[in-house]
Amino acid sequence: PLSSFFSGEAILPRAHSPTQQHRLRHKLMMEELQRRLERLEGQVAELTVPEDAMTNAMAQHQRSKEELVEMLKRQLEQAEQRNRQLEAELAELRELVHRQPVELILDDGSKYYGRVKNGRPHGPGKQTDTYGQRKIYEGQWTDGKYDGIGVSFHDTAKKYDGRWKNGQMVGKATAQEMPLGD
């Protein structure tokens, strides 16, 4: 299945950034899907020429019309089954793209590690400083903004644990002093 091919085993050049690697991995997945789709279209094209199939079958084997219809039905069923398999693989690939954590550099220069949607943080993720040494935020994201349950870490050695909406803290939050080195 495609999931094993695109689970990160593909060899990608080290010179690319994580975002470029993600885009390259996505491009490779889409190219593989295109090749599979073209093969399926070729199979379907063979099935859409029943006159040729009938002529060949009658000339070579003198089959009855019922046998020919049964043969064409089997071929059509096989093509439909293959189409369903390809659709399932495509759905699996789309799900993998959304589930696979990636590392991004955000507009402010900080780093993000987590799930993305449309190239923006979406789902569970962690934001750190440029060097990845200090946490800034860890929790849920929606469309590139803090959204849901999360923890915000500050230079004042405090962290705020609470609910976020559209990048802003909402409701009550719990503030805690952090031990040194956290």
In this prediction the pTM is 0.46
Residue 4's pLDDT is what? 44
More confident residue, 157 or 58: 157
Instruction: Give, in order, the Cα–Cα distances in Å from 99 to each of 17, 26, 92, 120, 145.
Output: 19, 13, 10, 13, 18
HSE-CB for 151 with a 13 A CA cutoff: 15
Average pLDDT over residues 165-172: 88
Domain 102-177 matching CATH 3.40.50.2000: the answer reads no
